[in-house]
């Protein structure tokens, strides 16, 4: 394959991958607790007897932006946001623990503490189940207290401590479900350690940290780069056809 054609083809393929990542960021600009994704690539030489001059664009390990999103006041008592770094621990669809910043919480009819996606929050003893209550409060340290049904205003009882963790961002990887997990963790392995210094604020949720203007600009830039790569492929093909015609005319 022509060297220029190969390089342009590889670049166009990587442009599509990058454009998809930025489009996903843009689509989640209003998703509670969303962390935007980075994409990057590098030139990788092709090894082989007949490819010493070939190179292709190789995607590097994707990463996420862990900067905090804006705190949005809701006034809802069960909405909580994390101030600073850290994560809520939830039970993923696979039954294993995962991490999220989404603190839009509620109690379902079975008494399970869940977020808006229906993921159950985990406490020190496992999935959190709240007994029937008249009132509920989530303290800054993650302790959940309730006033049981039929009890007076002074009958406040601590129910459970939410698991709040703060693993190093380099040890986290983002799944296709948008949740974060410890890199290399196998089912049954210990999860991240609880961080007692984390702090919650009630009546707020954390918005997405996506900058919509930046992401839209990146999507348009990737589209222009893709068009340029396609033009290069067409030019390489036309040059090859012209060279073949000249050689056949001799």
CA distance 36 to 65: 5
Residue 196, judged by CB atoms within 10 A of its CB (0-12, 13-18, 19+), counts as: exposed
pLDDT of residue 52: 61
CA distance 140 to 197: 10
Q: Is the pLDDT of residue 123 over 70?
A: yes
CA dihedral 61, 93, 178, 67 (to 10 degrees): -100
Distances (CA, A) of 102 to 69, 126, 205: 11, 19, 7
Average pLDDT over residues 81-101: 95
Are the C-beta atoms of residues 85 and 69 closer than 8 Å to each other?
Answer: no
- Domain borders along the chain are 3-65+210-249, 71-206
pLDDT of residue 24: 92
Q: Is the pLDDT of residue 172 over 70?
A: yes
pLDDT of residue 121: 98
Q: Is the pLDDT of residue 205 over 80?
A: yes
Q: Is the pLDDT of residue 108 over 90?
A: yes
What are 123's strand-pairing partners? 126, 162
Closest CA to 34 of 67, 83, 63: 67
Are the C-beta atoms of residues 127 and 110 closer than 8 Å to each other?
Answer: no
Tell me how crowded residue 79 is: count the other CB atoms within 10 A of its CB: 24
User: 54-63, 158-167, 180-189, 231-240: which has the minimum mean pLDDT?
Assistant: 54-63
Phi and psi torsions of 246, nearest 5°: -65, -40
Summarised one tens digit per residue, pLDDT across range 4-38 is 777 788 788 888 888 888 999 999 999 999 999 98
Q: Are strands 105-107 and 113-115 parallel, antiparallel or unpaired?
A: antiparallel
CA distance 179 to 210: 16
User: 115-119, 156-160, 223-227: which has the minimum mean pLDDT?
Assistant: 223-227
Summarised one tens digit per residue, pLDDT across range 209-230 is 999 999 999 889 888 988 888 8
- CB under 8 A, 24+ apart: contacts of 21-24: 21/62, 22/215, 22/218, 22/219, 22/222, 23/215, 23/219
Average pLDDT over residues 72-92: 96
CB contact burial 150-185 (16+ within 10 A = b; e otherwise): eeeeeeeeebbbbbbbbbeeeebebeeebbbbbeeb
Are the C-beta atoms of residues 57 and 13 closer than 8 Å to each other?
Answer: yes
Summarised one tens digit per residue, pLDDT across range 47-75 is 666 656 666 677 666 789 999 999 999 99
pLDDT of residue 187: 83
pLDDT of residue 53: 60
pLDDT of residue 91: 96
Q: pLDDT averaged over the chain?
A: 88
């Amino acid at each position: 394959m022509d060297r220029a054609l190969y390089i342009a083809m590889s670049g166009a393929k990587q442009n599509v991958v990058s454009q998809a990542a930025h489009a996903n960021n843009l689509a989640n600009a209003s998703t509670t607790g969303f962390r935007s994704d980075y994409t990057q690539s590098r030139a990788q030489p092709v090894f082989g007897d007949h490819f010493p001059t070939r190179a292709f664009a190789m995607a590097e390990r994707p990463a996420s932006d862990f900067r905090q999103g804006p705190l949005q006041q809701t006034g809802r008592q069960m909405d909580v946001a994390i101030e600073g770094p850290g994560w809520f621990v939830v039970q993923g669809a696979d039954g294993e623990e995962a991490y999220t910043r989404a603190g839009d919480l509620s109690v379902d009819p079975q008494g399970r503490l869940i977020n808006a996606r229906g993921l159950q929050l985990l406490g020190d003893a496992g999935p959190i189940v709240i007994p029937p209550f008249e009132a509920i409060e989530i303290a800054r340290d993650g302790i959940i207290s309730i006033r049981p049904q039929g009890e007076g205003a002074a009958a406040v009882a601590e129910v459970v401590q939410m698991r709040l963790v703060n693993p190093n961002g380099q040890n986290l990887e983002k799944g296709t479900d948008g949740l974060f997990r410890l890199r290399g963790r196998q089912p049954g392995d210990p999860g991240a350690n609880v961080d007692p210094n984390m702090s919650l604020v009630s009546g707020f949720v954390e918005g997405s940290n996506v900058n919509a203007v930046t992401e839209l600009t990146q999507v348009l830039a990737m589209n222009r780069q893709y068009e340029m790569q396609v033009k290069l492929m067409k030019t390489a093909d036309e040059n090859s056809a012209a060279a073949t015609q000249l050689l056949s005319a001799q």
